[in-house]
Amino acid sequence: MTSIDTTLGDTKEPRLLRFLQSRYLELIGSIYIYNEHRGYTAIDQVLRAVRARWPEDLKLIAEIEKHRGDEQKHYLMFRRWFERRGVMPFKIDRACGHIDRFIEIMFGARIDELQPERMIGDGALFARLCRIISLTEKRGYRQVEILLRNRIVQSDRGLMKIFRIIEADEPSHWAPYDGWLEANAKRDSAWWERALDRMIHSELLLVKLPFLFFSSRLPRRADWADEHDDADRLPGKPFKSTAAV
């Protein structure tokens, strides 16, 4: 009897450990796939506005197009990772979107409600958007470096491959926005913008991620986000203006 109990204990523990590790990886993957999709669909709006406002600035357009293409590539890599596991991502919404939170706090509107065409006509507002995108990308780069050193992530070769590709792509993502700020004599990010970036990230890492991890009723998506591309946009809504730009 004793030997049977011991055997059960030995097999149960690794099984539980595997379950927890798998849940952790799928949660990380779900947060990433949400943010990658959010990224390229939001950049689509910026790109449309930049093409309309500065059609002659082919360098800026090409850099943003590259950024947009990379984010879609990242999204598709995570989609394939989930497809290979045979599970759908967890249902993650904009509460776990870094750029969503940043935009909502800074502009008082959701990303889908922004009107980049109008924003781009106002140098100060576009500069604010550039700083948000740049800080978000730099945050993403630092986070990927941390995940590449994470033992649980290291146990999954597919995920490691994805994060290495993201790590290589990321530095070119903030370049167009930093370049625009510099070329137009706009200031770099202020201490309070960097503090906000840190706060949003800590909130995700220390509050939302643990909450989702231990949430027993976390549903999975029934479809892929890219199946609704172009249909998700809400009508534009005016954004709030702040003096601190």
Q: Which is nearer to Fe ion, 63 or 71 (by Cβ)?
A: 71
100 near Fe ion, judged by CB under 5 A? no
38 near Fe ion, judged by CB under 5 A? no
Q: Which is nearer to Fe ion, 60 or 124 (by Cβ)?
A: 60
Q: How far apart are CA 208 and CA 152, in angstroms?
A: 19
**Interacting residue with Fe ion among 26, 44, 63, 71 (CB under 5 A):** 71
**Residues 102-141 within binding reach of Fe ion (CB under 5 A):** 137
**Interacting residue with Fe ion among 38, 68, 74, 128 (CB under 5 A):** 74
Q: Which is nearer to Fe ion, 128 or 173 (by Cβ)?
A: 173
- Length, in residues, of the chain: 245
201 near Fe ion, judged by CB under 5 A? no
Extract the tokens encoding 5: 């109990």
Q: Judging by beta carbons within 10 Å of its beta carbon (0-12, 13-18, 19+), is residue 57 exposed, middle or buried?
A: middle
DSSP H stretches of helix in the chain: 2-53, 58-85, 98-107, 116-119, 123-148, 151-154, 157-169, 171-183, 191-202, 209-214
* C-beta of residue 125 within 8 angstroms of C-beta of residue 119: yes
CB of 50 vs Fe ion, minimal distance in Å:
17
Q: Which stretch binds Fe ion (CB under 5 A): 34-42, 79-87, 100-108, 190-198?
A: 34-42
Q: Which stretch binds Fe ion (CB under 5 A): 22-30, 74-82, 92-100, 212-220?
A: 74-82
Extract the tokens encoding 178: 């930093």
Q: Which is nearer to Fe ion, 118 or 194 (by Cβ)?
A: 194
Q: How far apart are CA 39 and CA 59, in angstroms?
A: 20
Q: Judging by beta carbons within 10 Å of its beta carbon (0-12, 13-18, 19+), is residue 59 exposed, middle or buried?
A: exposed
CB of 142 vs Fe ion, minimal distance in Å:
12
CB of 165 vs Fe ion, minimal distance in Å:
9
173 near Fe ion, judged by CB under 5 A? yes
* Interacting residue ranges for Fe ion, rule: CB under 5 A: 36, 71, 74, 137, 173
